Structures are given as C-alpha cells and as structure tokens.
C-alpha cells in the first residue's frame, strides 16, 4: 500500500502545500488526456484507507473513494486536454495544458501548492526554457517547482489519490462519449487500443474524438 513518506519528506524541506499529480489517458487513441491533483500539508497523518493506484482498483472502488479523497485533501482539481488539443500541441503540450487546468481547478477549492510531486520520470508540467515555438495558452496559471518520481502512483498515497480523481472523471467522459459513438466501445475500453476498438477504426475510420495525429489503424 502507498504511504505518505515521500510527501512528508518534501514537506519537511520547506514546502508548505504539496500538490500530488498524476495523469490518465496518455496512451489512449481517443478522448482527452486528464490530470488529477490533490494538495496536502504537513498535518496530513494518514492516507485515505484503501486508496492505491487507480489501475489496481475496481471501477466501483474508485468511485467510492472520490468523496473521501476530496474530503481528505486540502484542495483538489482535475484538468483535461481534448483529443483536438493533443493533435494541436502534441501529448506533452496537452499534458501541460491539462496539468495547469488542474492547478486552476484546485485553486478554487483550497490552497495553491508551492511544490508538485509528479508521477513519472519527465517533468511535462513546467514550461521549458526557452519555451517551445508552439505552446498552448496556459491561462496565466504558473506551475510551482516539480519533483518527479517513477511509479509515484504506486508508493505515494497522495499521488494515488490524484490518480483516482483523474481516472474516475475521465472514465465518465468516455462513457458519455460512447453514447455518441457506440461502435468504438468506449464504455469498456475507455479509448485505449483494444482489438474491437482497433477493428472499429479500420471499418469506420476515426471520429471527431480520436487523436488523428496518432498512428491509427487503416
């Protein structure tokens, strides 16, 4: 089970409010890429009991944890970048856009983090210096300093909590889109490249919610 050990280490190094961030949908062929964020401080003593990386939880368990995570965190937010924005800005630019939208959403619910713990090995949240020639408008939200950690969603309880928020919200979007585009089976595959989804793309071609800049089957 994940713990708060890493979060407390970062909070002890001068951080007052730590944002824990994770993404879902990066490898999907359709639908948005989504970023979840929770904010904690040094007073957090225990994780939400039972919360772990969202991929290891059943859909029912993930949904049951959402209100608990929101009540547990000092602030929380989820941000999305659409399939069209993935096509326009690339996956890294879209992740940055979704991450900044999550920061903006969290700011409406509680304190703004002064540091972020980000799952993975690459800091896609920080605007590079110099910035890319083509970069999305981030809405004036600035990212605090970022610490990356591989598999943070597995061993950091706050990152796991953020992954639950992101996964539940994105899955809900994909189920809704499945009603508009039932042939692709998004209610079950959530936009990922399952064999039936790939075959549907071959037979019908991509729809407006597919990432057309990606190598889709023909």
Task: Decide: 24 and 34 in contact? Cβ < 8 Å.
Answer: yes
End-to-end CA distance of the chain: 42
- 79/126 Cα distance (integer angstroms): 15
Number of domains in the chain: 1
The alpha carbon of 214 is separated from its chain's Cα centroid by a whole number of angstroms, namely 20
Q: Tokens representing 89?
A: 């800005």
**Cα 193 to the center of its chain, rounded Å:** 19
Domain presence at residue 185: no
115-119 and 18-24 strand pairing: parallel
Span 78-103, pLDDT tens digits: 999 999 999 999 999 999 999 999 99
DSSP state of 156: B
On whether residue 15 sits in a domain, the answer given is yes
Does any domain span residue 191? no
The verdict on residue 68 lying in a domain is: yes
- Percentage of the chain beyond pLDDT 90 is 91
58 within domain boundaries: yes
- Asked, for residue 202, whether it belongs to a domain, the answer is no
Assigned domain for 32 exists: yes
By three-state DSSP, how is residue 35 classified?
strand
Q: Average pLDDT in the 37-56 region?
A: 95
| CATH code where residue 155 lies | 3.30.420.10
pLDDT digits 0-9 by tens, 10-26: 999 999 999 999 999 99
In 86-179, DSSP assigns E strands to 115-119, 146-149
CA distance to 40, 68, 71, 113, 141, per residue, from 18 (Å)? 5, 18, 16, 5, 16
Residue ranges making up the domain that contains 102: 5-176
Neighbours of 165 (CB within 10 A): 27
Residue 169 belongs to some domain of the structure: yes
pTM: 0.95
Per-residue model confidence (pLDDT) at position 141:
83
* Dihedral sign computed on CA atoms, order 70, 72, 75, 81: negative
* Structure tokens belonging to residue 24: 């879902």
């Amino acid at each position: 089970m994940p713990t708060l050990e890493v979060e407390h280490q970062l909070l002890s190094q001068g951080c007052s409010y730590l944002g824990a961030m994770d993404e879902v949908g990066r490898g999907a062929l359709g639908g948005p890429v989504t970023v979840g964020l929770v904010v904690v401080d040094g007073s957090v003593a225990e994780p939400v009991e039972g919360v772990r990386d969202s991929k290891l939880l059943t859909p029912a368990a993930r949904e049951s944890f959402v209100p608990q995570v929101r009540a547990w965190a000092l602030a929380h937010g989820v941000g999305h970048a659409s399939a069209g924005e993935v096509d326009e800005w690339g996956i890294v630019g879209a992740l940055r856009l979704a991450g900044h939208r999550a920061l903006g959403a969290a700011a409406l619910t509680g304190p703004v983090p002064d540091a972020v713990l980000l799952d993975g090995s690459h800091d896609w949240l920080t605007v590079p210096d110099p910035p890319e020639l083509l970069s999305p408008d981030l809405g004036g939200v600035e990212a605090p300093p970022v610490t990356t950690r591989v598999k943070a969603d597995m061993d950091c309880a706050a990152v796991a909590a953020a992954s639950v928020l992101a996964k539940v919200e994105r899955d809900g979007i994909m189920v809704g889109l499945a009603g508009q585009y039932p042939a692709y089976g998004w209610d079950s595959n959530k936009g990922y490249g399952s064999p039936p989804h790939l075959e549907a793309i071959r037979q019908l071609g991509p729809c407006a919610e597919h990432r057309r800049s990606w190598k889709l089957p023909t």
